A and B are shown apart, each in its own frame.
Chain A
Amino acid sequence: MTYRWVEHTAELELEVDADTERGVFADAVAAFAELLGDDGRGELETRDVEASGHDRSALLADWLEELIFLADTEGFTPEHLAEIDLGGDRARAVVAGRRGQPPPLVKAVTYHGLEFRQEHGRWRARVVLDV
């Protein structure tokens, strides 16, 4: 499981490199957990997260948007991906996390330089977040 934040003048760029497509989604949750960095005093809870997109990268962007929406509306900070069912243009997942007061840090997931591809047997994704 690997992800890293790449230098960008004003925004945040996330790169994920995983064994599987599922791994990309799981690593993205871990990255968000680090970013929102809430002290997570609440009980561990789960949320169903559904997303759609006409290609894999749009699907990942939509799915991350759902995490931002949960943080913004419920103060829900994700901790880990519990389950995920990846269809052609849909994803259905269960994410575990806690409610708290995460900072309103991430405005949106952009489509700038958005990537989700297989390379040398690995799955790589890149997204730029507007912060």
Chain B
Amino acid sequence: MSDLRRIDETLWEIPKEARADMRVPARVFADEELLDAISTDSSLEQLQNVATLPGIVDAALAMPDIHQGYGFPVGGVAAIELPDGVVSPGGVGYDINCGVRLLAAPFSEAELGQRRERLVHELSRRIPAGTGRGGPLDLRGADLERVLRDGPKALVETRGIGSEDDIERTESRGCLEDADPAAVSERARERGGGQLGTAGSGNHFVEVQRVARILDAPAAEAFGLQEGQVTILIHSGSRGLGHQVCTDYVKRMDAAIARHGIELPDRQLACAPASSPEGRAYLAAMAAAANFAWANRHAIAHRVRESIAQVLGERDAAATRQVYDVAHNVAKAERHEGRDVLVHRKGATRAFPAGSDEIPADYWDHGQPVFIPGSMGTSSFVLAGEAGSMRRSFGTTCHGAGRRMSRTGARKQIGGAELRRELEARGIVVRCPSNRGLAEEAPFAYKDVERVVEIVERAGLARRVAQLVPIGVVKG
């Protein structure tokens, strides 16, 4: 793109003059090679579209794992001034509070030994992809209401699932306080109420891993990670409930756009002033769906501990500790450089630095843990938030490798059965009901996660703490 100019080693900018409707510049964290991959789809045009949103401040930002989405690009960040700037449901996405949770097991890969296959099998049996009614935790009425209002705390208090420790080690303690269950439609409840404890499909997974390399020993020690240790990474979100909340409010805001006098280059950016009735209702419903998503990953973590209990015993299950849980699709009211802003993170992760009040006391000296899943079969990374994120990206870093190839493109290059054999030849146990779904998530369909995390480290947004490699994958 000819308008793109380099600001520094890791930052590129399209100035706001590039298009008459841009209110701020569009900026991307990348290097030349990632930028080449990014330029092959329409993600930069989508980022410029984000720069047109009323109330956006500084710049529409993109992380190095940016790829084409719908409305917002995936990997996009927009901070919008409160109270009169807009909120855009599409800027959060359909999978509200999609995110990742990391559990650290009290045993090494060597100690797990030949029980690995049984553990992966047990995980696949207990954590369904989930469709229709009758999931492992079918919540209705007042029980669902409490989850929407309080998040995982409701499961700890009413069902004895998980612990207060888990909640302490969850972003926002697993609860956005502005949640109002009344703003969540009956349809959303009907769609998602039976899906708590299910992973969903697409790129969602539960992965068993080994800590392959420690890159920051003091932070790794604080996070409870050591080389050779087994970890379990859970990637899921708010399931049908969140999808329906977004659907409901995109439709409602699309219909009201003219009334608010807003013109948009893409209908999926449908938005309303955060202070308007539509804006307030969406934020209350989004917060409830975010709480539901944290409860979902909390319920999945419970199933992981049950699986460990079954295969390795109760003691190991009880000693499996939650490292942290981060959201990567959410909008949060935060204060940055003296301004109250609503930070939309669409495929981007909060990465607050050491000393932030928002992170657990145990991690205070090291920064907030962030988990960056690689593509299936490749490394994932544990990062810690750095001070640069507050200056440069509204306290945000990347969220994953980022797709570079379409699903059909991936399927044309490899069959699911062949990929399954390849992964197993590399010592990764795979459980996935669909060969098609497996092929779509082939590692080569994604950007190189190591390059992505290197860029955010060089940009000062977050630093690497540990590298994790997969030894077992359960895919939805």
Residues of chain A with a CB closer than 8 A to B476's CB? 104
With a cutoff of 8 Å between Cβ atoms, the chain B residues found around residue A54 in the complex are 254-255
Asked whether any CB of chain B lies closer than 8 Å to the CB of A44, the reply is no
Indicate whether A109 reaches chain B with its CB closer than 8 angstroms: yes
A37 to chain B, nearest CB (A): 8
- Of chain A, the residue at the smallest CB distance from B253 is A111
Contact of A107 among B67, B94, B132 (CB under 8 A): B94
Q: How far is the CA of A103 from the CA of B433 in the complex (A)?
A: 9
Known A110-B71, A110-B90: A12·B407 in contact at CB below 8 Å = yes
Contact with A along B25-68 (1 / 0, CB 8 A): 00000000000000001010000000000000000000000011
Q: Are A74 and B247 in contact (CB under 8 A)?
A: no
In the bound complex, do residue A69 and residue B70 qualify as a contact, i.e. CB atoms below 8 Å apart? no
| Selected contact of A111 from candidates B130, B131, B254, CB within 8 Å | B254
Determine if B69 is an interface residue (Cβ-Cβ < 8 Å).
Answer: yes
**With contact pairs A9-B67, A103-B437, A107-B95 given, residues A73 and B132 touching in the complex (Cβ less than 8 Å):** yes
Identify which of B133, B247, B255, B404 contacts A9 (C-beta below 8 A).
B404
Q: A58-B254, A108-B246 are in contact. Are A103 and B129 (CB under 8 A)?
A: yes
Q: CB of A72 within 8 A of chain B? A: yes
Q: Contact mask A64-107 → B, CB, 8 Å, 1/0?
A: 01001101111100000000000000000000000001111101
Cβ of A65: which chain B residues have Cβ within 8 Å of it?
247
Whether a CB of chain B sits under 8 angstroms from the CB of A39 is: no
* Complex Cα spacing A108 to B433, Å: 22
Question: How far, in angstroms, from A112 to B437 measured CA to CA in the complex?
Answer: 24
What 0/1 readout, one digit per residue, does chain A (18-36) give for beta carbons within 8 Å of chain B? 0000000000000000000
Check if B250 is an interface residue, CB within 8 A of chain A. Answer: yes
Inter-chain contacts of A45 with B (CB < 8 A): none
Cβ of A43 < 8 Å from any Cβ of B?
Answer: no
Instruction: Name the distance in Å between A63's Cβ and chain B's nearest Cβ.
Output: 12
- Which residues on the B side are within 8 Å of A10 (C-beta)? 67-69, 74, 403, 406-407
Whether a CB of chain B sits under 8 angstroms from the CB of A114 is yes
Q: Please name all residues of chain B whose beta carbon is closer than 8 Å to the beta carbon of A105 when the two chains form the complex.
A: 201-202, 437
Most B C-beta atoms less than 10 A away, residue of A58, A61, A103: A103
State whether the Cβ of B392 lies closer than 8 Å to any Cβ in chain A.
no
Q: How far is the CB of A121 from chain B (nearest CB, A)?
A: 26
Number of residues from A at the complex interface, CB < 8 A: 36
Q: Is the CB of A107 within 8 A of B243?
A: yes
B87 → chain A, closest Cβ, in Å?
16
> In angstroms, how far is the closest chain B Cβ from the Cβ of A1?
21
* Inter-chain contacts of A111 with B (CB < 8 A): 70-71, 90, 250, 254, 266-268, 270
Residues of B within 8 A of A16 (CB): none
Q: Is B413 among interface residues, defined by CB-CB distance under 8 A?
A: no
Q: A11 near B: Cβ within 8 Å? A: yes
B409 at the A interface (CB under 8 A): yes
Contact A75-B254, Cβ < 8 Å, known A104-B476, A108-B246: no
B436 closest partner in A (C-beta): A37
B406 near A108 (CB under 8 angstroms)?
no
Instruction: Please tell me if the beta carbons of A110 and B70 are within 8 angstroms of each other in the complex.
Output: yes
The residue among A5, A10, A58, A68 with the most chain B CB atoms within 10 A of its own CB is A10
Asked if A62 CB lies within 8 Å of chain B CBs, one says: yes
B41 nearest in chain A by CB position? A9
Nearest A residue to B405, CB-CB: A9
Asked whether A41 is an interface residue with its Cβ less than 8 Å from the other chain, the reply is no
Q: How far is the CA of A103 from the CA of B131 in the complex (A)?
A: 7
* A131 and B131 within 8 A (CB): no
* Interface contact B132-A103, CB-CB below 8 Å: no
Residues of B within 8 Å of A61, CB to CB, are: 251
Most buried by A among B70, B268, B433: B70
Known: A7-B406, A112-B71, A114-B268. 12 other contacts (CB 8 A): A69-B191, A69-B244, A104-B198, A104-B240, A105-B437, A107-B243, A108-B243, A109-B247, A111-B250, A112-B90, A113-B70, A130-B95
Between A and B, 28 residue pairs with Cβ closer than 8 Å are: A8-B68, A9-B403, A9-B404, A9-B406, A11-B70, A69-B244, A74-B132, A75-B131, A103-B433, A103-B434, A104-B198, A104-B200, A104-B239, A104-B240, A107-B202, A108-B243, A108-B246, A110-B268, A111-B70, A111-B250, A111-B254, A111-B268, A112-B90, A112-B267, A113-B268, A130-B95, A130-B243, A131-B407
Chain A contact residues, CB within 8 Å of chain B: 5, 7-12, 53-54, 58, 61-62, 65, 68-69, 71-75, 101-105, 107-114, 128, 130-131
